[in-house]
Chains A and B, each alone.
Chain A
Amino acid sequence: MTAVLELRAATRTHGTGPTAVHALRGVDLVVRPGELVAVMGPSGSGKSSLLMLAGGLDASTSGEVLVEGVPLSGLDPAGLASLRRRAVGYVFQELNLLPALTAAENVALPLELDGVPGRAARELALRALDEVELAPAARRFPDELSGGEQQRVAIARALVGDRRLLLADEPTGALDSVTGEAVLELLRARVDAGAAAVLVTHEARHAAWADRVVFLRDGRLVDEARSAVGWTA
């Protein structure tokens, strides 16, 4: 099965010479459909850099990043932007929902930016909101939603349409522990339905929802945890 995301000796260095900062050093990582991979590591270990490279929001200094088999280094800025909108969903701690748009309009926005006609985009957005059990809130504005509801809107936006790769950076940041777990359960369900996801977190309890937990230290992957016990009996 083709990997949804592949990092091959991905390296990201900021600056040169003695003051260079090595954010990532030769990271190899393969994430397949139906797989949730969590990334843990201390502050400054390269977790967010890894996510930026995986999502095409930053370019590697050397090595290669492939999304759905496409090497990102071979894409021009327009091609990269198109791949990002079409294939990659992002959930960040800062939700970045647009306050002037309703929940449904927020979810439909990336589709419309990618040229999907308004009515079709709206239908897909409503379906995505229904999947996160927020269909009744479709016409409400972000400030009329609770923190947990806003996070579910952000997840619906990340997964709307046919996005196969979900990248989440501390997606449960501001939520209480029960709501946070519900977000993880939702992520897990989308992955079980065939998506691939990378979850950056410092919460071991959240990382435990992943099929694999990889550990970064000083820009290198140093270890991996994988339970022998499956999700179903």
Chain B
Amino acid sequence: MSVKHALLALLCEGPRYGYELKAAFEARTGDAWPLNVGQVYTTLARLERDGHVERDSEDVDGHVHYRLTDAGRRETRAWWDSEVTREAPPRDELAIKLALALTVPGVDVRDVLQRQRTATVRALQTHTRRRARLTSAQRDGTAPAGAGTTAAVLVLESLIFAAEAEVRWLDHCEARLLRTADPNGARP
């Protein structure tokens, strides 16, 4: 996804400069997708070109703040009012890889499956630990006030559910492969 709409949404709260936008984006999305500050400024330049943002004041440190224009506000509204499309999903490298591993000779599909399972479980461990840090900070009262921490927890849980679904799919692939290999359906 482009970060364009995320930046527009953050600017609805008031003018910000590039680094502030990067920090706000990462805090609310659980540091799941770190942003390159250069990417933020490139996006701001495009948004400015398209008339969605304009330069606001410069602070004492020389940071250029950007603020939303009316067109930018309408663009953001349109984003909230539309759904994220799931009909034409982006190419899934893993699904493609498994399809090819199954059909191209000389590949041990169970090894491919296990390597991926390990990697996905490792990612799941990482998401689970990040979430545990956030929820324990919430419990101890050391998390920043506001809904930002809850937002970050929900984003991490989205990654947790997606990784879990992937492991289940890998398990399903393996079970189906074993069943296909043995027409009687017996377990090895």
Q: Give the CA-CA distance A149 to B149 in the complex, in Å.
A: 29
Given contacts A223-B115, A223-B118, A229-B126, 17 further A-B contacts (CB under 8 A): A42-B174, A188-B132, A204-B164, A205-B124, A205-B164, A207-B121, A208-B121, A208-B160, A213-B118, A213-B122, A215-B117, A222-B114, A223-B117, A225-B125, A227-B122, A229-B129, A231-B132
Q: B9 at the A/B interface (Cβ < 8 Å)?
A: no
27 residue pairs from A and B, CB less than 8 Å apart:
A42-B174, A42-B175, A42-B178, A44-B187, A204-B124, A205-B128, A205-B160, A205-B164, A207-B121, A208-B121, A208-B124, A208-B125, A208-B127, A208-B128, A213-B118, A215-B117, A217-B110, A217-B114, A227-B123, A227-B125, A228-B126, A229-B125, A229-B126, A229-B129, A230-B129, A231-B129, A231-B132
Q: Give the CA-CA distance A82 to B175 in the complex, in Å.
A: 40
Q: Distance (Å) between the CB of B135 and the closest chain A CB? A: 9
Name the interface size band of chain A: 20 to 34
The SS class assigned to the B binding surface is helix
Q: Distance (Å) between the CB of B163 and the closest chain A CB? A: 7
Q: B167 at the A/B interface (Cβ < 8 Å)?
A: yes
Q: Give the CA-CA distance A209 to B167 in the complex, in Å.
A: 15
B163 touches A204 (CB 8 A): yes
The 9 closest A-B pairs by CB, nearest first: A227-B125, A204-B167, A208-B124, A208-B128, A225-B121, A225-B122, A205-B164, A227-B126, A229-B126
Task: List residues of chain A with CB within 8 A of the CB of B167.
Answer: 204
The SS class assigned to the A binding surface is loop
Task: List residues of chain B with CB within 8 A of the CB of A67.
Answer: none
Q: Interface size (B, Cβ < 8 Å)?
A: 31
Q: Distance (Å) between the CB of A29 and the closest chain B CB? A: 16
